[in-house]
Amino acid sequence: MPLAQCPVCDKSISKRAYTCPGCGEPDPFNSKVKSKALGFVLWLVLIAVGAYAFWTYILPMMIEFVHDI
């Protein structure tokens, strides 16, 4: 298990620790912030891909369908 220094009290703790057992610092390595940022970027990419697919494939098919009626 990899150990690192707590940024507040400088005690050796696990990198996966949710709180520091020495000083009680919640999320000493900001792992929750990193995972939230990664999730936000993932959602932005999915929305961008969906918008691109709609604009290039679905919208032209809808326009062609309306003109054929």
The model carries a pTM of 0.53
Per-range mean pLDDT, top range of 17-21, 28-32, 33-37, 48-52 = 48-52
User: Partners of 14 in the beta sheet?
Assistant: 3
Q: Residue 25's domain spans which residues? A: 3-68
Bridge partners, 4 (sequence order): 13
Place of tokens 């620790």: 17
Collect all residues with Cβ–Cβ distance below 8 Å to 6 and sequence separation of at least 6. 12, 13, 20, 22, 23, 25, 28
Q: How does DSSP classify residue 16?
A: T
What's the number of domains the chain is made of? 1
* 31-46 mean pLDDT: 85
Which amino acid is located at 22 in the chain? G
What band does 1 get if pLDDT is binned at 50, 70 and 90? low
